[in-house]
Amino acid sequence: MNVDTCIKHSFASTSRYAPHYPQRCDEALDEALFFTQGYDAWRTLDPGPASSVFSRFAALPALTKQELRARGPQGFVPHGRDIAKGLTLHEIELVTTSGATSDQVTNVWYQPWWNASEAASWQLNAHARAAATGAHREAILTSPWCAGFPCEDGYLTMEQRTLGRFLYLSERFDPSSWSSDLMDRMVDELNTFRPVVIEANPSFLARLSRHIVRRRLRVHSPAIIVLTYENSSVLHRRQISQAFDAPIASSYGATEAGYVFMECEAGRLHQVTASSHVDFLPFAPEHGGPDVGRILVTIFDNPWRSLVRFDIGDVVRLDGHAPCPCGRHEGLTLKSVEGRTVHLTSRQRAGP
């Protein structure tokens, strides 16, 4: 399915936002168009400040990962900041995505911006808001190649896998190869470390949960479990709930764009309007629209990265028109993330 199956407008103009939100969108767009080399060719497409910012966004193309690769990290650093100097001063790092949806992309990583985006996402879930102070203990169970300390030859001590308030539970990237002893070690460390938050790939934590239930082990339950890095299934959640007595929420985002949606306590995904703008491009009705479509993300307040209408590579489903029981109403609300755009297929209708 290509972009021609999408209706050429955004739902942003019909969503509810805080009074200052359009101004933040204008600032992000102007910074891109006038202070970032990667958007030079976009200026002639901009209808200008006389138009609403949502109309300005809708007139622009999507930014793809291919364009990020072609122009390199420096092309999307605003105001002429020097990457080499930033690296020397340890203000930034260069990180490479996994390439799950397309070729790998090298990104400028600015940790304070990422932390602020994550903290903003916590405000959209009552359990996370109450528990996550920014100084809380957090255990992470994901591929160590994404976050942590990878080691496939031997094992690392708990001290070697602890960084400040974070404990990385596994140094092995393939959960199918985890031994019973390794999973017993994870349980012992959870009981010792007693994290306030567990952040995990749902498939990883489900694997550990099956072991806990099968062995009838006692394990510390955190204040909240945040599922990330991959889509969770009903089965994953059921297995995790059998082992842990904790609320579960899915967090959705990307290395390039930070935290974009967070699941509330009522089970709906709310836009993190404090750190990003999201354009929803609905598919045409014959392809599942208007509630199903693509999303393009514009980020706010990252001094080392300007991303406008970035095609994050996923298909989402809107949550209809009923207000969410949690009371939140700003920005877009999703029922689900349906999957990757690269996995879509379309069927040609037979002729008359």
* Per-residue pLDDT tens listing for the chain (352 residues): 344 444 445 566 567 899 999 999 999 999 999 999 999 999 999 999 999 999 999 999 999 999 999 999 999 999 989 999 999 999 999 998 765 555 678 999 999 999 999 999 999 999 999 999 989 999 999 999 888 999 999 999 999 999 999 999 999 999 999 999 999 999 999 999 999 999 999 999 999 999 999 999 999 999 999 999 898 899 999 999 999 999 999 999 998 999 999 999 999 999 999 999 999 999 988 777 789 999 999 999 999 999 999 999 999 999 976 789 999 999 999 999 987 777 676 665 555 5
Do 99 and 130 belong to one domain?
A: no
Q: How many domains would you assign to the chain?
A: 2
Do 99 and 129 belong to one domain?
A: no
Other beta carbons within 10 angstroms of residue 88's beta carbon come to 10
Do 233 and 193 belong to one domain?
A: yes
Per-residue confidence (pLDDT) for residue 88, from 0 to 100? 96
Do 102 and 144 belong to one domain?
A: no
d(CA 234, CA 217): 23
Q: What share of the chain is helix, strand, coil (3-state, %, to 5)?
A: 35, 20, 45
Do 144 and 254 belong to one domain?
A: yes
Tell me how far apart the 2 most distant CA atoms of the chain are, in Å: 69
In a domain, 41, yes or no: yes
Do 131 and 259 belong to one domain?
A: yes
In a domain, 334, yes or no: no
Do 88 and 217 belong to one domain?
A: no
C-alpha separations of 265 from 40, 48, 215, 274, 329 in Å: 42, 40, 30, 19, 14
In a domain, 344, yes or no: no
Do 212 and 241 belong to one domain?
A: yes
Query: Helix (H, G, I), strand (E, B), or coil: what is residue 271?
Result: strand
Domain that holds residue 36: 1-114+294-314
Residue closest to 230 by CA, chosen among 252, 248, 210, 208: 252
The residue written with tokens 């806990």 in the block is: 212
Do 160 and 251 belong to one domain?
A: yes
Do 14 and 79 belong to one domain?
A: yes
Per-residue confidence (pLDDT) for residue 338, from 0 to 100? 87
Q: Which of 224, 248, 263 is the last residue of a domain?
A: 263
In a domain, 321, yes or no: no
In a domain, 134, yes or no: yes
Phi, psi for 337 (deg, rounded to 5): -100, 120
Per-residue confidence (pLDDT) for residue 5, from 0 to 100? 44
Do 50 and 168 belong to one domain?
A: no
In a domain, 27, yes or no: yes
In a domain, 226, yes or no: yes
CATH number at residue 136: 3.40.50.980
Q: Which pair of structure tokens corresponds to residue 26?
A: 């204008």
In a domain, 2, yes or no: yes
Do 15 and 103 belong to one domain?
A: yes
